[in-house]
Amino acid sequence: MKVTQAVEIPLAEWVSSVGDHVSQGFSYFDWLTAVDQTDATDEPGFDVVVHLLDVTAPERLRSVLLRTRVPDGAAVASLTPVFHGAAWHERETHEMFGIDFAGFDDGTGLGLRPLLLPDGFEGTPLRKSFMLAARASKPWPGAKEPGEGHGEGLRSGAPSRRRVQAPGVPPPEWGPR
């Protein structure tokens, strides 16, 4: 049986709270990521989330989700001093969301650098504000509305319905010509 607990952590207490949970037995680092909450009305930013496990009693596996809100443009303290394995996750989160991790140290001295995206890629693809280039070059498959198409079933002079665009689809004038 697995019991998961979720805990909100103030940004200033991020590393110390994670360290406190480690001393309580949550010593297995599972993963770290972020969630784009920049459209939140109360406190916009990014939720940085880490999942830790207590594996001391396998018959009653306990896990905890620790979450902190990071304002857009602000940095969060790196967990690499606590978990060396957090380096890969922090690099990925930095690359995909643009979140900086203060004090990041993976032992190479190279700092936060690209991990997954090809050389020359610009942007942060997991942000809600990121324009999906593939949507500019290929139409969204759900854009075809009833009555639109190859001439079948069209009534002359009948008004068409408003076209639906998926989130992240740039306007028609965007992109290469």
Contact criterion met (CB below 8 Å) for 96 and 125: yes
Separation of alpha carbons 39 and 133, rounded Å: 21
b or e along 109-122 (b: 16 or more beta carbons within 10 Å of the residue's beta carbon)? eeebeeeeeeeeee
Q: Are 47 and 68 in contact (CB under 8 A)?
A: yes
Residue-wise pLDDT tens digits, 126-143: 999 998 766 556 665 665
- Look at residue 1 in the predicted model and tell me its pLDDT: 54
Confirm if 77 and 14 have CB atoms less than 8 A apart: yes
Q: Per DSSP, which regions of 58-156 are E strands?
A: 61-70, 75-77, 100-102
Residue 155, pLDDT > 50, answer yes
The arithmetic mean of pLDDT across residues 160-170, rounded, is 65
CB 37 within 8 A of CB 46: yes
Classify domain 2-102 by CATH architecture: 2-Layer Sandwich (3.30)
What pLDDT is attached to residue 45? 97
Confidence (pLDDT) at 3: 67
In contact, 87 and 65? CB cutoff 8 Å: no
In the prediction, which pLDDT does 10 show? 97
In this predicted structure, the answer to whether residue 154 has a pLDDT above a threshold of 80 is: no
Four-residue CA torsion sign, 163, 168, 170, 176: negative
pLDDT of 131 reads 83
Q: What is the pTM of this model?
A: 0.75
139 CB contacts (<8 Å, ≥6 apart)? none
> Chain-wide mean pLDDT for the chain?
85
Query: What are the residue boundaries of the structural domains of the chain, listed by start?
Result: 2-102, 131-149+159-177
User: Is 80 exceeded by the pLDDT of residue 85?
Assistant: yes
